[in-house]
Amino acid sequence: MAATYFSGLLLGFSLILAIGAQNAFVLKQGLLRQYVFWVCLVCALSDAILICLGVFGFASLLSQQVWLIQAMKYFGAIFLFFYGLRSFYNAYKANNGLVASEQPTTTLVQTLILCLSFSWLNPHVYLDTVVLLGSISAQYMDKVAFASGAVSASFIFFFGLGFGARLLRPIFANPKAWKILDVVIGIVMWMIALSLLR
């Protein structure tokens, strides 16, 4: 059981560590110290639901719904394009670094809607959590232990990223560093959007 749990944990970490739209959003919220707990919780719970769906049999059903994957690709690409555009605009407009950004520009509800969009509108998330983890889990007898390991990886990663971001705050007090972060986030969003349309 422990070996299966750690297999799920390590695989979960390997899939989640890549820089993506969701991770960039969590990092930025962590730097701003805005709704960090709720953002981390929503991301981790979303991953947990998708992992469980994959491990316990939803992968085969999802793979048959080609139209759903296609629709999610286009919605996801449009969402990421506009969020990337917003990041570029913020980089152009802002001149005061992290200190000026500390006043919340969105409400908790708006932030959580954004967070849910990053979690559920990106087909890559479904391919990683539902399809890939689901198919790999088939080789394990103890699916609960495997799923628990992968879910643990999501909780550890998102809460570590969100609350660990404060260690980088001195760097992002510099207006140039904050501009660079916004530009990098914009580039990441547009690259993912383009990859969805290919």
Note the helical H segments in the chain. 2-16, 21-32, 36-53, 59-64, 66-93, 97-100, 108-120, 123-125, 133-137, 143-164, 169-172, 175-197
pLDDT band, very low/low/confident/very high, at 177 (cuts 50, 70, 90): confident
Q: Tens digit of pLDDT for each residue in 24-77?
A: 899 989 988 999 999 999 999 999 999 998 888 765 665 666 676 677 678 778
**Which of 158, 131, 150, 168 lies closest to 54 in space, CA to CA?**
131
Q: Measured in Å, how far apart are the chain's first and last C-alpha atoms? A: 40
57: left (phi over 0), alpha (psi -120 to 50) or beta: left
pLDDT, average across residues 128-136? 77
Position 101 pLDDT exceeds 80: no
Percent of the chain beyond pLDDT 70?
A: 87
**Tokens standing for residue 74:** 């286009």
Mean pLDDT of all residues in 126-148 = 81
pLDDT value at 149 more than 80: yes
Question: Is residue 141 predicted with pLDDT exceeding 70?
Answer: yes
Lowest mean pLDDT among 5-14, 52-61, 149-158: 52-61
